[in-house]
Every structure is written in structure tokens, then in C-alpha cells.
Chains A and B, each alone.
Chain A
Amino acid sequence: MLQQTAATLLLIGFPNAGKSTFFNLLTGGNRKVSNYSGVTVDMGRADIKSDSDGGIKLKLVDLPGIYNLVPASLDEGVTVKALLNLEGKDGAQKVLMLLDWQRIEASMSLALAVKDIVGSDNIAIVINKDDSAEIDPARRSELEKKLGCRVLPLSALNASPKTVEAFIRGLDLSSQVEPVKKLQITKEALEFLPAGDHSARLAVIDDTKSITDLINWYHQKARDVLGSLSRPNDEKSRLTQKIDRIVLNPWLGGIIFAAIFYFIFDAIYSWAGPAMDLAEGVVVGMGDFVGNYLPEGHFKSLIVDGIFGGVGGVVVFLPQIMALFFLLSLLEQSGYVARAAVVTDRIMGVFGLNGKAFLPYMSGFACAIPGIMATRTIPNPRERYATLMTLPLITCSARLPVYILLIGTFVPATTVLGIFNAQTLSFFFLYFLGSIAALVIAKILRLSYFKGETGNFIIDLPLYQRPSVKTAFIQSWKKGKTFLTKAGTIILGLSILIWLLSTFPSANPELLEGKTPEQQAGISLEQSMLGTMGRTIEPVIKPIGMDWKIGVGMLVAFGARELFVSAMGTIYSLGDVDEESTPLRDKLMAETWSDTGAPVFTLATAWAILIFFVFSLQCTSTLAILRRETGGWKIPMIMFTYMGLLAYGGAYIAYNLLS
């Protein structure tokens, strides 16, 4: 017989039980953790970090949470598929049931149901969130006796990975998990499982009553098993009750919701401002410093204009990106977002969606990709598509640099209505515009192509938890690193390309004769490859108030939105002949039309660009994920087109209204 070299363990449990926290603890992974149900929607696999040599390799699989074994949405289907090994790939050697001590009855019932399907030899139980070690050794062995499998109580927040590893190594991992019984599911549930003949593992039943009776029975049995075992102390539950009395209060609820989101966006805009000024100072200073040591010529221009102008222009937005992720992480950890779904359910209902769609939309504020993935948790496929097809309209973090650059430069910082800053208000307006457009389009979809009733809205509200500043900081630091990596790779590469295209071919020396240095720089740019390309598209973008340089920026932004800022940075640095480097903001203000000498960036042009960015789908990664999640190019292409039309139309209206 072959020597066993590795064993795989599946993590299965109730939503929000802490599976991903546990997974990260053991593998050093970076799966998303948040205090609401339905955070994980796909499978994640990694090796358990171990410094004990000699043992076999342990692989852990993190899965979406499930309430029972009958999947009611795509994410739950992922878990059931893995548990039953429906795709027949390399299976697992053990199912680790992760129970939630704060919801011990309900999560125990799931463990009992899984135990019946795979047999008690194939499972082991971890009871998580036992933060103050309420389950003592006596209770633990009582449970082990009753359940017929090993039990480990712990708190994934402060457990030692070594203890957990020792527990896992103490299990018998030699045989493959095989279902010992067919799983009974409804016909509707099949929709959420991969197609194919699974009749060996599944029994499809017409009578839903026998399925609900079975679930009911497991809950009764869980109560029997737990019997006299004491329950977690209910301090947290009482606190939750108190907070909810305020947060879900009919009158205060909406105000608190609006205040929280206003606070977040205001914080990104105003607090991160000084940090950004500092970053800008550093980038400009470094550019000058390096520039002083380089001889005049193409190489200096590449470094100063191409790299410092392009990459530096984007990097200065790091503070805002990090502030956004920091605050979103605090909010998600607290448990408030599930309440936000309750508060917004009524409004969502008007647009043919339900409060559950709030959660994917909310992820969309960070980035459309996790948001699109999160629509898997919406059970009704029509609602899911309506949400998914409008999700990229939500203002994601990639739009931040463009918004902040243009608002900070062209909207005056005056006070309106006594307390609001015009810049903050404009910023808020852009977020609002994107969100409301998403809802209106969703409504149109729900009235036409995706017509039908709205599904149930029954949402699980987690206990409140004090958000950890450390976790939020780590989270935002990771996103910051991703952003910098992007700046150092894609944006750097593109900045160099743009520099090449806008420097070559060199202008005919005759054209430059007798011209001022400024005019010479302008002519060189116009004669370059990029200039020629820009001239070609100018007729299309002139009606929305843009010159060819902005047009080029818009075009490259279809790769990724931040590229707009870096492209502008490079192009304008080349046109700028001053010895001293200046921040991109000043360069924008100094830019004039070559024929009339009027400033290119008026308030109207700035708003036309902003509105264009609100609506248009300028992100290749989003298109790729959309293709994967919808199984083809049709939906992404429809979205690309409708968002493009909205963008152009919106920019046209904004430009003409303001000029």
C-alpha cells in the first residue's frame, strides 16, 4: 500500500460560526472574516502551517456556511457539493464540524445531520467562540460520549494553532469520507448543485414536508443532546438587545444608517486629505531629487515624467484607499451591516430587490469583484441577476483617485447649507448617484427581463462584537499593499508605455524652430504616436467637453480606472517644462486648449469626467469575473454596453448643463 502523505479536512458549519477565522488561524491564510452570515461564498484550500516534521501534510478547506443540508442558494450548494464529493475528485479524510458556542443549539443540529450522512467515524467537532472556556473537561467528555466523536472547544480568536494541530493529528485520518446514506433534498435545491447524475448520493423528494420534518427533528435532537449542559452566558445577547433597540428603532434607524455612511465617506475625503498632501509632497520631492542627478534627455524624462508623473500620481491616493478599507472593516466586524440590510429592506423592496442585496452592494464599495461573488447568496436567480448586473455601478475604491483628484482640484471648498463642505457633498453625491442608478436599473430589469416575485427576506442578525482595530489595520494594510503592487506592476508598465507612445516619434525639428519651450513640448506631444491616436478619437469626446489628452486617459482607464490618473500624470508631465515638479492637481489647472488658450479643465469638463466614471464599466477584472459567474460573455457585454451608454449620455448632459 502506498504511504499516505496528506489528509484533507473539510470545514463545515453554520454561517458566521468562525470557519474562516479558524482557517486563517491554522493556515496563516487571508480569507475574508466579517460579522455577518454569508461572507464566504467559495471554496478555499490551504496547508496547515506546521513545524512538527515527520507528520503527514494537513490540508484545510474553508467553505461557505450552511443552515442545513438542503442548499437554498449557490454558496450553500458549494458546501453540499464538497461534503458529498459530488464531483468525485480527491475527497476528504475528515469533516471538521465547526459549531458556534453562541448559537450552540442550532449549530449542533447541523452537526447531527452531517453525522448521519457521513457517519460518526468521519467527523470531529470543534466548538468555537468559547471565549471564556465555559466548556470544561467534564462537559467536553460528556459531549464526546453522547456524540460518539472527538470534541474540541476553543476560541479561534486566541487559540494556539499547535493545540489545534495536535487535536487534528490525534484523529484517524486514514480513510476517505464516504456518505453512508443518501441525502434527501428538494427538486428546487438541485438548481444550486452542479449538473450531473448524483442519484447515488442524493434522493430527490417531492414532498418538502418530510424534509422540513427531518430538520425539525435534528433541532429537537440537538436540544436533547445538549440537555442539561449549561448554555453560554448571555451577556452579549443582552448587549445586542440594547443596541438593537436603538439601531432598529423605527425613527432612529434610518438616521443612524445615513449618519454612519456619511461619516465613512466624509472621513475618507477629509481626514485622509492631509495624509495625501504629505504623500504628494514626498513624491514630488523625490521626483525633483532624482531629476537633479540625471542628465537632460530621454532617460531623465522617462524617470521624471513617465514614472514619477504616472505612478507617483496614483500612489498618493494610498491614504484614502487604506482609510476606506479600515473603516469598512470596523463596520463589518461590528455586526451592524446585517442591521443595515434590515433598515434598507423597505427601499430595496421598492426596486424589486430585498434587503439581502444590500450586502453584495456594500461589498461593492470596496471592489465590484467580491460584490459580484457575494450575489451567490441571493437565492432567487432573477433577483441575483438584477443585483449582479447593476453591481459595478456602486462606487468602488478604484474610482476614489479619480474622484478625489478632480473634486479636490475643481470644486471650491465652500460651505453650503451651513455645515456641509461643497467638496464633501460632491463626493457624497457621486456615491449616491452610483447607488441610485444601480437600484433604478435593477428595477427596470426586474420589470422586464427578470420579472417575478421577490424572494423571502429572513435574515440572521449576529451578536454585536467590539471591532478589533488591529484586524481593521491588518485588513487595510493588506489592501494598501495590493494597491502598491498594482502601482509597481501594471501601472508602472503602462506609464512607461504611455511615455514611449507620447515621446516617439520625435517631432520634426523644423516645426520646433523659433518656438518657446512650452510650445515645443506641446508640439512634440501632438506629433507623437499617442497624439495621433488621441486626434482620431477627439471628435467622439469633444461633445462631452474633453480634449484628446483626456480622451487617451479615458481610453486606458478601460483597463483599470486608476490608470486614468497615471496616464494624465505622464502626459501632463511631458507637457510641463518647469524645472520644479508640481503635483498633478496644479498641472491640470494649468492646462489650456492649444487653439483658444482657454483652460481645458472647467467645472463642466471636470463633472463630465466624474459622471463618466460613475457609470462606465472600466475594469477588465470585473468583466472576467462576470464571465465566470454568469457562464458566458453575453451578460458582461450587455453590462458593458448599457453602462457605456449611460456614461456617455450622463457626461454629455453634465457638460452641457454646466457650460
Chain B
Amino acid sequence: MTLNDIKVGDTVCLDDFSHNQSVYFKLISLGLLPGDQVIVMGRAPFGGPISIKHGSETFFALRRSEALKVQVKTSTKAL
């Protein structure tokens, strides 16, 4: 499952997504580490970017083609 498959409003856990180094590099720089929880906040129309919230401090958006490169697991613990 990738971040691109997640419905708006759902919380998931990041899996190890380090195989794509360029996306990984950018996301860990924002402070997203494998194992962290994120919430999908919205999806822009016509296949536009997905917006994500991480913890209570980071909001960001990424293209769907990049979201496809981020593996996720269903979240086990609540935020």
C-alpha cells in the first residue's frame, strides 16, 4: 500500500520508504521518519497533489507520483 491509496481523513503509519532516495531525502528533511504516523488531509482536483499532516507541527503536500513511492501500513495505535 502506498500513500497514494489512502482516503482523505485516514491515519497511516509510514513503512520503510527509503528505496527511493530522492523522495526519502526530502521527507526525512521535513522530519518524517519511517514508523511515524501521518493523516491525509486532502487531495487537489484532477490528480493534483495530496496534502498531509505529520504530528502537530508539519503540514506539507506532495504529488501523487511521489506519494506512490511512499509505502505505508495501516496505523495500529491512535494518534
A458 CA to B63 CA, complexed, in Å? 7
Interface residues of A in 233-251 (CB under 8 A from B): 234, 237, 240-241, 244-245, 248-251
A402 CA to B43 CA, complexed, in Å? 40
Point out the residue from B23, B33, B56 that lies within 8 Å of A219, measured CB to CB. Answer: B33
**Interface residue? A208 (CB, 8 A):** yes
Chain B residue nearest to A354 (CB atoms) is B63
Tell me whether A106 and B51 are in contact (CB under 8 A): no
Tell me whether A208 and B42 are in contact (CB under 8 A): no
Question: By CB atoms of chain B within 10 A, which of A67, A248, A349 has the most?
Answer: A248
Tell me whether A231 and B56 are in contact (CB under 8 A): yes
Chain A residue nearest to B59 (CB atoms) is A461
Q: Which residues of A contact B51 (CB under 8 A)?
A: 244, 248, 342, 461
Tell me whether B57 and A253 are in contact (CB under 8 A): no
A244 CA to B42 CA, complexed, in Å? 8
CB distance from A417 to the nearest CB of B (A): 24
Chain B residue nearest to A215 (CB atoms) is B28
A572 CA to B27 CA, complexed, in Å? 60
- For B10-28 the 0/1 string (1 means CB < 8 A from A) is 0000000010011111111
Tell me whether A106 and B44 are in contact (CB under 8 A): no
A457 CA to B63 CA, complexed, in Å? 6
Point out the residue from A104, A245, A342 that lies within 8 Å of B57, measured CB to CB. Answer: A104
A423 CA to B37 CA, complexed, in Å? 51
**Interface residue? A345 (CB, 8 A):** yes
* Chain B interface size range: 20 to 34
Q: Which residues of B contact A346 (CB under 8 A)?
A: 44-49
A72 CA to B31 CA, complexed, in Å? 16
Tell me whether A244 and B41 are in contact (CB under 8 A): yes
Point out the residue from A212, A232, A251, A463 that lies within 8 Å of B25, measured CB to CB. Answer: A212
Tell me whether A220 and B33 are in contact (CB under 8 A): yes
Q: Which residues of B contact A104 (CB under 8 A)?
A: 57
CB distance from A63 to the nearest CB of B (A): 17
A354 CA to B49 CA, complexed, in Å? 11
Q: Which residues of B contact A253 (CB under 8 A)?
A: 44-45
**Interface residue? A102 (CB, 8 A):** yes
Tell me whether A355 and B49 are in contact (CB under 8 A): yes
11 further A-B contacts with Cβ under 8 Å, apart from A216-B33, A458-B61, A460-B58, are A102-B57, A209-B21, A215-B29, A237-B59, A250-B42, A343-B44, A346-B44, A346-B49, A459-B60, A459-B61, A461-B60
* Top 9 A-B pairs, shortest CB-CB distance: A106-B31, A67-B29, A461-B59, A248-B42, A346-B48, A234-B56, A250-B45, A458-B62, A342-B61
Interface residues of A (CB under 8 A from B): 67-68, 70, 72, 102-106, 109, 208-209, 211-212, 215-216, 219-220, 231-232, 234, 237, 240-241, 244-245, 248-251, 253-254, 342-343, 345-346, 349, 354-355, 456-463
